[in-house]
């Protein structure tokens, strides 16, 4: 089974969030199941230099010069890079210039990317032709749209929603520049309230839709969470499935992680204390052995509920706790944590950066990881926290609700809890969770049990990779035959 994965990020090459982790991990998780997945990415600055076994291919595009695509490998990943230096070879990030502003031509950048991905899938110009196309988020949203506009039956398409808040909208008068055929600009296609909707188009025209947790499926179909696309998703409810994200448990393994001060495992936790100590030092914290050291590793946005954490900081500090925050994002939230670190020097530390090695040390040294999101399609940091023994304290929403066993009374009596859950959207509920955490931290044996349960929880890809394979197989069974390449 050959799958082309179309995405704007792929760890470890280019990452701004969880999308990259998932796109980077899926090929390796599917390989043992006999699924061959290649990832097509925009050829961002510097990426081509990281490819080995490079082959340049011309991909025919209707009515214009062929697209330039590089085929090659980066480690175990098999990649295709869309070469268009005027669109992708820029010094900033994948979506934004260094000043934090979106590139003004993001519509063109990702429309072209999706168009080339569709052409690769159809033309067989690459050394193989996929049986199925798996598109991720709005940046790849027009792939099913372009695929449908070619001649003959296209390969089946799966559209995955990693976060419905980002939809990719462009004014309708951009249609010609984006080479969208008129037939695609209807309510049944990419038209969205008079605009062009990249994700909308993908959701309307993909054969199947998936998202990254079962709970988020239900939420997406409500007005509160669907962000305008809930009606479409309700209409397509039979085509929508939730498959939980996993993490790459080889890369994320406290027993072999080179970023840690000392390795450890569930069987031998003796190295953990050195990581707690090192974490405290990196953040300038005086950490109390008797109270939890909390960590946050996050985009700093309202979605992540971190303004609520600002409100309840006194509760966290009253119990003797300390807090280390790593993140970048909205200026007011960056300010909040910068001020808190100044006001509570030694108890609150803030590193305003995207720093994966530091995030690893935090997971290894923190007692609890806070994820108070207002909504969370899946969330990865609570999975990483459990893998490293940082107990997750999470909002009961989306994938957080699906991946943490809440320390309610029954779960504690049964000895199966792995974290603490609170209702989303409320400072009071988060404060109650912090009080419970402090209490459990102080109760002999209780916190240790949470930690060992968390570390024993399966958070890898095994189950979900099998679910993707089953989904692909069911789509291929019902797809019309493709002409031979």
Interface residues with ligand ADP (CB under 6 A) are 17-19, 21, 163, 297-299, 326-328, 354-356, 359, 378-381, 384
399 contact partners, CB below 8 Å, separation of at least 6: 212, 213, 215, 216, 244, 245, 376, 377, 378, 379
Q: How far apart are CA 276 and CA 226, in angstroms?
A: 40
Q: Between 80 and 465, whose beta carbon lies closer to ligand ADP?
A: 465
Question: Judged by CB, which is closer to ligand ADP: 75, or 171?
Answer: 75
Distance (Å, rounded) from C-alpha 421 to C-alpha 401?
Answer: 8
Least Å from the CB of residue 163 to ligand ADP:
6
Closest approach, Cβ 126 to ligand ADP, in A, equals 28
**Measured distance CA(408)–CA(414) in Å, rounded:** 10
Instruction: Indicate the residue among 287 and 371 with the shorter CB distance to ligand ADP.
Output: 371
Q: How far is the CB of 211 from ligand ADP (least distance, A)?
A: 12
Please state, in angstroms and rounded to a whole number, the distance separating the CA atoms of residues 150 and 157. 14
Shortest gap between Cβ of 260 and ligand ADP (angstroms)? 15
Residue 369 CB, nearest approach to ligand ADP (Å): 10
Query: Cβ closer to ligand ADP: 19 or 111?
Result: 19
At its nearest, how many Å lie between ligand ADP and the CB of residue 106?
18
Could you give the CA distance from residue 47 to residue 95 in angstroms, rounded to a whole number? Answer: 15
Nearer to ligand ADP, 106 or 373 (CB): 373
Is residue 403 a contact partner of residue 369, using CB atoms and an 8 Å limit? Answer: no
Q: How far is CA 122 from CA 110, 133, 292, in A?
A: 18, 10, 54
Choose between 123 and 163: whose C-beta lies nearer to ligand ADP: 163
Tell the smallest beta-carbon distance from residue 326 to ligand ADP (Å). Answer: 5
Residue nearer to ligand ADP on the CB measure, 15 or 148? 15
Q: How far is the CB of 29 from ligand ADP (least distance, A)?
A: 16
CA atoms of 322 and 308, how far apart (whole Å) = 16
Which residue stretches of 31-174 are H helix? 85-88, 106-123, 143-148
Q: Are 443 and 450 in contact (CB under 8 A)?
A: no
Comparing every residue's Cβ against ligand ADP, the nearest one is 18
To the nearest whole angstrom, how small is the minimum distance from the Cβ of residue 212 to ligand ADP? Answer: 8
Q: Whose Cβ is closer to ligand ADP: residue 29's or residue 119's?
A: 29
- Shortest separation between residue 303's beta carbon and ligand ADP, angstroms: 7
Report CA dihedral (402, 404, 408, 409) to the nearest 10 degrees: 110
Nearer to ligand ADP, 72 or 399 (CB): 399
CB-CB neighbours of 94 under 10 Å: 21
Closer CB to ligand ADP, residue 191 or residue 376? 376
Closest CA to 239 of 205, 279, 284: 205
Report, in Å, the least distance between residue 461 CB and ligand ADP: 14
Residue with smaller CB distance to ligand ADP, 204 or 341: 341
Beta partners for residue 5, in sequence order: 39, 134
Rounded CA-CA distance 429/409 in Å is 16
Closest to 279 measured CA to CA, from 264, 304, 256, 259: 259
Least CB distance from residue 27 to ligand ADP, whole Å?
Answer: 17
Round to whole Å and give the CA distance between 20 and 10: 4
CA–CA distance, 129 with 114 (Å, rounded to integer) = 16
Query: What is the distance between the alpha carbons of residues 368 and 386, in angstroms, rounded to a whole number?
Result: 9
Please, are residues 279 and 361 in contact by the beta-carbon 8 Å criterion? yes
Whether 179 contacts 119, CB under 8 Å: no
Q: Both tokens of residue 438?
A: 């402090």
Phi, then psi, of 286 in degrees rounded to 5? -95, 105
Q: Which is nearer to ligand ADP, 17 or 124 (CB)?
A: 17
């Amino acid at each position: 089974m050959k799958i082309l994965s179309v995405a704007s990020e792929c760890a470890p090459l280019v990452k701004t969030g969880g999308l990259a982790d998932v796109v980077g991990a899926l090929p390796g998780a599917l390989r043992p199941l006999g699924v061959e997945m290649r990832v097509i990415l925009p050829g961002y600055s510097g990426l081509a230099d990281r490819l080995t076994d490079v082959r340049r291919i011309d991909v025919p595009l209707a009515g214009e010069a062929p697209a330039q695509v590089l085929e090659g490998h980066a480690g175990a990943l098999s990649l295709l890079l869309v070469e268009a230096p005027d669109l992708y070879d820029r010094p900033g990030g994948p979506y934004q210039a260094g000043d934090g502003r979106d590139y003004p031509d993001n519509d063109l950048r990702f429309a072209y990317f999706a168009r080339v991905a569709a052409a690769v899938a159809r033309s067989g110009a690459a050394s193989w032709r996929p049986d199925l196309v798996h598109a991720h988020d709005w940046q790849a949203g027009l792939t099913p749209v372009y695929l449908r506009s070619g001649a003959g039956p296209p390969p089946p398409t799966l559209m995955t929603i990693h976060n419905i808040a980002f939809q990719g909208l462009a004014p309708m008068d951009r249609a010609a520049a984006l080479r969208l055929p008129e037939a695609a600009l209807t309510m049944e296609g990419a038209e969205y309230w008079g605009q062009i909707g990249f994700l909308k188009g993908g959701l309307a025209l993909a054969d199947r839709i998936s998202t990254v947790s079962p709970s988020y499926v239900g939420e997406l179909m409500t007005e509160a969470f669907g962000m305008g696309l809930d009606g479409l998703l309700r209409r397509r409810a039979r085509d929508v499935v939730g498959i939980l994200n996993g993490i790459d448990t080889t890369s994320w393994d406290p027993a072999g992680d080179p970023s840690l001060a000392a390795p450890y495992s569930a069987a031998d936790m003796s190295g953990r204390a050195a990581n707690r100590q090192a974490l405290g030092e990196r953040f300038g914290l005086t950490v109390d052995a008797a109270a939890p050291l909390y960590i946050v590793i996050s985009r700093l946005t309202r979605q992540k509920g971190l303004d609520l954490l600002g409100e309840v900081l006194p509760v966290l500090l009253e119990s003797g706790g300390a807090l280390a925050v790593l993140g970048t994002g909205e200026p007011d939230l960056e300010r909040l944590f910068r001020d808190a670190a100044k006001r509570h020097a030694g108890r609150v530390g803030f590193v305003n950066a995207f720093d994966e090695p530091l995030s690893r040390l935090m997971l290894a040294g923190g007692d609890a990881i806070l994820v108070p999101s207002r909504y969370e399609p899946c969330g990865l940091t609570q999975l990483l926290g459990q893998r490293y023994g940082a107990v997750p304290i999470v909002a009961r929403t989306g994938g957080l609700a699906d991946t943490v066993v809440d320390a309610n009374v029954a779960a504690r009596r049964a000895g199966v809890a792995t974290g603490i859950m609170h209702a989303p959207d409320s400072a009071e509920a988060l404060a109650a969770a912090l009080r419970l955490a402090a209490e459990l931290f102080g109760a002999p044996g209780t916190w240790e049990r949470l930690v060992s349960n968390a570390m024993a929880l399966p958070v890898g890809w095994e189950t979900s990779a099998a679910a993707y394979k089953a989904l692909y197989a069911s789509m291929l069974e019902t797809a019309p035959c493709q002409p031979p390449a």
